[in-house]
């Protein structure tokens, strides 16, 4: 039996699938991987955009918003790919418990996974928060202000500091999301990694929590990960083609 068949059988037999996604699935939609060679952090210094600096320095915030004029359009133009749609299909089949993602682009929701089934460990680029009063703004609204000449946009209500709802370097992980991801990882019967190298913690802990609680573990990634040794099946491939084939097989089995 080939690996796709094996994974398809696992999906058919499982009741609660947790899909864990990382940069690999987003790069297939044309969003650059921040950490890869030639990626964004080769052109911009990540230390410039650390959380403490953003909070303490107006100049740093100005640099951030300047950078966002390059970064934001790539997010807006990105469309979900075959991998995102395959995961949304799992939801429609009643197999998906949730998606836990390290990505900030909102493409899982755009592909049709309901908001409440997507746990965004590193936040989302689609919203901007006021750090003082908590007011939330759609990102596009703030980017429009930046495009029209505001160098450092502030909160309309309280003039507080506005920050995209992503988790920056040096910013604590969101507690609610991290806790929920742990609970759901422990409760699933199949944990499927798609497009993550599993090196960023605590995100990379989730497959181990799932494995430790008795779930089957599948890893689909272009390159090897530190957790491959714990997986039942590992596929070195792009997520789009692999997930599409798996979901096709699952459909055929469920209908047959």
The residue (of 36 and 132) whose beta carbon lies closer to Zn ion is 132
**Which of 9, 48, 135, 248 is in the footprint of Zn ion by CB under 5 A?**
135
The full 3-state SS of the chain, as one line of letters, equals: CCHHHHHHHHHHHCCCEEEEECHHHHHCCCCCCCCCCCCHHHHCCHHHHCHHHHHHCHHHHHHHHHHHHHHHHHHHHCCCCHHHHHHHHHHHCCCEEEEEECCCCCHHHHHCCCHHHEEECCEEEEEEEECCCCCEEEHHHHHHHHHCCCCCCECCCCCCEEEEEECCCCCCCCHHHHHHHHHHHHHCCEEEEECCCCCCCCHHHHHHHHHHCCCEEEEECCCCCCCHHHCCEEECCCHHHHHHHHHHHHHHHHHC
Q: Does 154 bind Zn ion (CB under 5 A)?
A: no
**Which of 155, 193, 246, 250 is in the footprint of Zn ion by CB under 5 A?**
155
Q: Which region among 24-32, 80-88, 125-133, 228-236 touches Zn ion (by CB under 5 A)?
A: 125-133
**Which of 40, 130, 219, 243 is in the footprint of Zn ion by CB under 5 A?**
130
CB 23 within 8 A of CB 222: no
Q: Does 160 bind Zn ion (CB under 5 A)?
A: yes
The footprint of Zn ion on this chain (CB under 5 A) covers a number of residues equal to 8
Nearest approach, Cβ of residue 76 and Zn ion (Å): 24
CB atoms within 10 A of CB 251: 14
Q: Does 133 bind Zn ion (CB under 5 A)?
A: yes
Q: Which residues belong to the active site?
A: 122
Nearest approach, Cβ of residue 146 and Zn ion (Å): 17
Q: Which region among 92-100, 152-160, 172-180, 190-198 touches Zn ion (by CB under 5 A)?
A: 152-160
The residue (of 9 and 135) whose beta carbon lies closer to Zn ion is 135
Nearest approach, Cβ of residue 135 and Zn ion (Å): 5
Q: Which region among 83-91, 122-130, 194-202, 212-220 touches Zn ion (by CB under 5 A)?
A: 122-130
Q: Does 52 bind Zn ion (CB under 5 A)?
A: no
CB atoms within 10 A of CB 93: 15
**Buried-state track 6-20, b at ≥16 Cβ within 10 A, e below 16:** bbbebbeebeebbbb
**Which of 59, 70, 76, 158 is in the footprint of Zn ion by CB under 5 A?**
158
The residue (of 133 and 224) whose beta carbon lies closer to Zn ion is 133
Nearest approach, Cβ of residue 101 and Zn ion (Å): 27
Nearest approach, Cβ of residue 164 and Zn ion (Å): 15
The site for Zn ion (CB under 5 A) is made up of 130, 132-133, 135, 155, 157-158, 160
């Amino acid at each position: 039996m080939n690996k796709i068949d094996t994974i398809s059988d696992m999906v058919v037999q499982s009741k609660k699938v947790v899909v864990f996604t990382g940069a690999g699935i987003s790069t297939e939609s044309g969003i650059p991987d921040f950490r890869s060679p030639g990626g964004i952090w080769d052109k911009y210094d990540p230390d410039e955009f650390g959380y403490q600096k953003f909070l303490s320095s107006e100049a740093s915030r100005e640099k951030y918003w300047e950078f966002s004029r390059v970064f934001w359009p790539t997010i807006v133009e990105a469309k979900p790919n075959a991998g995102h749609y395959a995961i949304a299909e799992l939801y429609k089949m009643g197999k998906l418990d949730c998606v836990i993602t390290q990505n900030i682009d909102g493409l899982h929701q755009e592909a049709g996974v309901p908001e409440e089934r997507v746990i965004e460990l590193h936040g989302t680029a689609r919203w901007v928060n006021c750090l003082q009063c908590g007011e939330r703004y759609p990102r596009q609204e703030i980017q429009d202000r930046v495009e029209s000449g505001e160098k450092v946009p502030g909160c309309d209500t309280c003039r507080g500091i506005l920050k995209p709802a992503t988790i920056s370097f040096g910013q604590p992980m969101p507690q609610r999301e991290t806790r929920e991801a742990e609970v759901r990882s422990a409760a699933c019967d199949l944990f499927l990694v798609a497009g993550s190298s599993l090196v960023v913690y605590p995100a990379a802990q989730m497959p181990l929590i799932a494995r430790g609680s008795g779930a089957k573990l599948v890893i689909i990634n272009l390159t090897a990960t530190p957790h491959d040794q714990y997986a039942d099946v590992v596929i070195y491939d792009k997520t789009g083609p692999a997930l599409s084939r798996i979901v096709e097989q699952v459909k055929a089995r469920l209908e047959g």
